[in-house]
Amino acid sequence: MVSRAAALEDPLRHRTVVRPVELVGVGVHTGEPCRVRILPRQLPGLLLRARDGQPVELGLAAVESTERSTCVAGVMTVEHLLAALWVAGVTAAELVVEGGEIPAMDGSALPFWSAIRRVGTQPLEAERPLLEVTEPLWVRDGGRLCAALPCPGLRVTYVVRLRDRPAQAVDLEVDEQTFERELAPARTWGYADEAEDLWDRGLALGASESNTLVLEGGAYRNRPRYEDEPARHKAVDLLGDLALLGAQLRAHVVAVAAGHELHLALARALAGQSGSDGRCR
């Protein structure tokens, strides 16, 4: 929701891409060729066309699975693309997907971010909703936690517990500059000894050292882009899941040993507790 005061002082506008964007690759889970086209749209909202070609509005209600990725309206691994769109302010676009999964590219959000930046964005007339957290709100599952605290902007703190090395944490204010420099390049990651189990379950069939950071024996098998790359990538996943709110968020989001399921539980709690003035109490 948009608070009246925010709308009067500094209207937030929905944005769309200036020109179509196309990215092609393989799905990190399906291992199959995938394609996504990001098309300009003059009405608010992200529409996804896949399966039978019928448009589905992207939002929390469209989430179908959170096993190792976020699957929305039949399309797996939407989170990296959605994180890039959300931080760029793109909340009006049509996503046409072939192959049932967003292409993995190099395993990070950077290719999507770079493509969006390359074509540019433009504002629409419609005002963009704003969710402002005014009191602490949290969800938890045992020792796993996702919380949203009052904050004048968007800040993310993410703590990842790793079984073969000390825990990692990242804490930063999220804007276009910090996303591009500190988060977008961080790749998806996994443990080498989990690979066969994932393959048996029909997952990670397209994973390789070209799109996945491999953790093995307390070290990295391939060269990391950051020493705390796993924590940074989890922050990207969080942003991609929160993008399904369809609104700008003013909050300090803290995640401890969380994952897609808990990210989305927090997003649903935020959506459920936002008042008519756009404030979450």
The C-alpha atoms of residue 29 and residue 77 are separated, in whole angstroms, by 8
Pairwise CA distance, residues 271 & 259, whole Å: 18
Task: Provide the 3-class DSSP secondary structure of residue 36.
Answer: strand
Task: Determine whether 260 is an active site residue.
Answer: yes
Q: How many CB atoms lie within 10 A of CB 170?
A: 21
57 CB-near residues (< 8 Å, 6+ apart): 45, 46, 47, 48
d(CA 224, CA 214): 9
* Interatomic CA distance for residues 157 and 235, integer angstroms: 8
- Residue in 14, 233, 260, 263 annotated catalytic: 260
Task: Compute the distance between CA of residue 253 and CA of residue 234 in angstroms, rounded to an integer.
Answer: 13
Q: Strands 144-149 and 137-141, how do they pair?
A: antiparallel
Catalytic residues, by residue number, are 260
